Amino acid sequence: MQTNGNHVPRDAATSPVPVNGERHVDLFVGAGGLALGLQRAGFLPALTVDWDERSIATLEANSQRYTRDWSAVRADVRDLDYSAIALSPVSLVSAGAPCQPFSIGGQLRGEDDERNMFPEVVRAVSSQESGEAGGWVKRLASGREAG
C-alpha cells in the first residue's frame, strides 16, 4: 500500500468518498483536524461549523486536496436551528468545544464562563435523539438507534 509522507494510506488521505460511507457533523471545526481524522477513519463531514473566519478560510484553502467535499459554514453554534438543517442522515456528531472554561488558564470558571460551549454540544446531540432535526443523525456513537 502506498503512503504519503505521514504514513497515511494515500487513498485515505485524499479520497473524497468515505471508505465506510458514514457521515458526521463537526461543530467547532477549527482548522479541521478532528474532521480530517474522522474522514480518514471513513466518515465524510456532512457539515462543518465554526464561527472563526480564519478557520473557515483554512478549510477553503485546503479544499483542493483535503476538504473538497466538505460543507464548511461560518456560524455561531448557539444560533443553529437544528430543525431547519436539511442533511442526509449522519452517524456521528463530533465537536472540538473550547476547553478554556475548565482550564487553569481560563480561570476555571466552568459553567459561569460565556465560552462554555459544552451545552451546545449536548443540545446538538439531544436534538438528534428527539428527532427535532428530522433524523439527520441515524444513530449515536454508541450505535444505539436514534428515535
Task: Give the catalytic positions in this structure.
Answer: 99
Q: Which of 58-65's residues contact partners 24+ apart within 8 Å by CB, and which partners?
A: 58/31, 58/32, 59/29, 59/31, 59/32, 62/32, 65/14
3-state secondary structure of 24: strand
Name beta bridge partners: 43: 22
- Which single residue is written with the C-alpha cell 480518514? 40
